[in-house]
Structures are given as structure tokens and as C-alpha cells.
Amino acid sequence: MLSSSSLRCFAGFGCIFALSMAAKPVIIKNTNPLIHFHGRWDSSPGTWWAGSGFKLNIKNLESLAFTLGPHTTDPLTSVGVSVNYGEFVTVNVSEGFNSIPIPASFKGSNKNTVVRVNVEGWQNNRMNLESLTFNPGASLEPYTPSKLAFQFIGDSLSAGQFLPKGVDQAWPFLVGEAFKAEHVVTAQPGAALTDIVSYGNEHGVSFQFFRTEDTGYFYTTDHNYTTPWNFGRDEPAATHVVIHIGANDASQNVTEPQFVQVYTNFLARLRTIYSQQPIFVFTPWGWPNADGTFGEYYVGQYQKIVDLRHAQGDKNIFLVNTTGWVTWDDVFPDNQHPNIPGHQHIADKFQAWLDNWGLKPEAHWATRA
């Protein structure tokens, strides 16, 4: 029989042991179902396409780190990190252990902290997640996604090419944030919609959209192949689909009849995935010039595409006329792509268009910090 002192001693050792156990960092493997992945991830798991990433809802967060595997872009990839729905801040990460800065104001006992992470770039954007490390006492809680979810499809004009923070400053991302929505941007600079070689892209978006990998796969030595994307992995499924594409088809001399046929076929295939969702077809805003003129392409053809779908009974496709949305002041002079204010201008215009159409932002983020 143990004496009371032995019991106290035993109890004391028990407390020391418990404290010792509690002092260990919390390791979360990449297979944990409470990690909310978004965008396109391969089986490693690794990211493809700008904007792919994950979301975490963490209780008692004091410190956070990512351990990334060998498929991560070498020497680094830039990711955007947002804490409690604040501004996305660029953090450069690489293979191995990466500490992620968490502002002191978001730390504290019994608080929940929402951390959102995504790759910023349309290239050099592979993040091969192995595990997460939290401070002792932290726990991963369920993340509840928004009921509103956008799927954006496009090219450089949607992917944030030439912007310091890449896709995080692009108009699709800004629209998603303004509506407190989930948002996936599947856009590739230089790619045509038509499945042709275009500006270094081996395939067009009409092919690549249905694959896990972006067109960078072609130049990736450890993954130079494509795999079909399982759209059942999109959680939640897109509630609204937005398409802005065609500039590179025009540059590659795809004729108007060819483009109309490719686009209508693409919409028909999208309807096998998004059977009832509204689809918004952007007209080109064109290439602004310093003298106030615009370089135009496929004039009237987007209306024809929408009219063809309407004639087939699909009334849930809408034309978004973007004429005049972008001026010379809204673009980089050397490449005529939207600059930071230009992307915000486009986002504001589309938000107003959606408001008039009848779509309102969510009142609050579904997972509240």
C-alpha cells in the first residue's frame, strides 16, 4: 500500500508527465480531414494553378509552421497568408520547415484563429504539404466554408500576371473576398481557350481546365504528365461560374467561327459539371491605348455564344458586357495588362453588376474568428 507521501509523489509525477506531454508541439499530418483544401492539389499532395491552398481554424494558436516536401518549387514559392480574414501577406516558403508569422493581436487562450493560405503565382507555384506544426495546447477545429462559391476561368487577365502579389491582387480574387465567398481561380497566362499551343502552353484551357495540373506540368521534370481533376473534390461545389477568355485565341489567329464553336462546346461540357449554376460570360474589355482607343477582338461573338446556348434552352448563362471597364490608366503601359488599381476597378464594376443582377455578399464569413 502506498503512503500518502508516495501518493502525492505519484500524483506529482503524473502532473509533471502531463505537463511534459502538453509541452510538445502539435503535429498535424497532411491527411487530417480538418485541413480544408481548395483549388487543385495532386496526390503528393501538391498545388497547381494560382490561388490553390488550404484553410485552417485553429484554437489557442500561438505559433504555426509548415513542413513542405521535395515537390515544392525550388528555391521557393510565394504564398499569401491571411489571418482572421485580414489582408493577404506574402511569405516565401521552401522545402523543409517554414515558420509562418502570426501577429500578436491574433494570439490568445481560448480564441479561434482562421488562417488562409494560397500560392500566389501562375508559375513556380508548387507547395508540397507534408505537415503543420502548432504550439502546445493548440487544436485544429472544423472549417465551415461559405455557402457562396465562385469558379473563375481565364488567362493572364484573371491570373494576376505582373502583379506583385499575383492572383491575390487580381479581380477574381478581390470579387470572391468582397462577397465573403469561397473562390477558385483556374486561369493560365498565355493560354487560349482553343486546345492549341500558345505562348508556351502546350494545351488550351478547354483541355487543361479538366486536369489537375496547370500547363506548367509540361516543363516539370518530376511531374510532366496530367491527371483528370475530380470535381467532387471541390468543397463546396461552385455556385457561380465566371469566364473571361479569348485574347490568346485572337492572338493565335483562331477564326471567329472556330472560337464560337470551341466556346459553345466548352460551355456544354461545363454543364455536365455545373448543371444548374449561373454562368457569366465576359466580353473582352480590349487592349487600351494611350490615345483612348481600344484594340478589340471577337466583336459580337460572345453575344452569339450566349444566344446559341439560350436557343438550346440554357437560360442560366449571362453576358457581362465589360466595354469601357478598363482604360489606359488601369493597365501597365508596356503590356496593357491591368495594374493593381485596374484590377480593383474591374472587381468594383463586376460587384456592381452582380448586385444589379441580384447576388448579394454574405453577411459574414461562415467560419467566424
Give the domain CATH number at 255: 3.40.50.1110
In a domain, 274, yes or no: yes
Burial label for 235, CB within 10 Å (0-12, 13-18, 19+), is exposed
In a domain, 124, yes or no: yes
Q: How many residues does the chain have?
A: 369
Same domain, 81 and 221: no
Same domain, 188 and 318: yes
Same domain, 188 and 335: yes
* Full-model pTM: 0.93
- Residue 191's domain spans which residues? 149-357
Segment holding 58, helix H or strand E: strand 47-59
In a domain, 15, yes or no: no
Same domain, 164 and 108: no
Same domain, 95 and 174: no
For the chain (369 residues), the mean pLDDT of every run of 10, in chain order, is 38 44 86 98 98 97 97 98 97 98 82 96 97 96 98 98 98 98 98 98 98 97 97 97 98 98 98 98 97 95 98 98 97 97 98 98 93
Report pLDDT for 105: 85
Chosen domain end from 141, 158, 173: 141
Same domain, 248 and 292: yes
Cβ distance 79 to 163 under 8 Å?
A: no
How many CB atoms sit inside 10 A of residue 76's CB?
15
Same domain, 173 and 307: yes
Of 128, 131, 134, which Cα lies nearest the Cα of 102?
134
Chosen domain end from 117, 141, 165: 141
Report pLDDT for 106: 84
| Number of structural domains the chain divides into | 2
Reduced to 3 states, what is the DSSP secondary structure of residue 56?
strand
> Which parts of the chain are beta strand (E)?
26-29, 36-41, 47-59, 64-68, 77-83, 89-93, 96-100, 112-119, 129-134, 139-141, 149-154, 182-187, 240-244, 279-282, 287-288, 294-295, 317-320
In a domain, 91, yes or no: yes
Q: How many CA atoms lie within 13 A of 311 on its CB side?
A: 7
Same domain, 176 and 57: no
| Rounded-to-10 torsion of CA 308, 311, 317, 319 | 50
Residue 24's identity, in one-letter code, is K
Report pLDDT for 154: 98
In a domain, 316, yes or no: yes
Same domain, 172 and 298: yes
Report pLDDT for 7: 38
Same domain, 296 and 158: yes
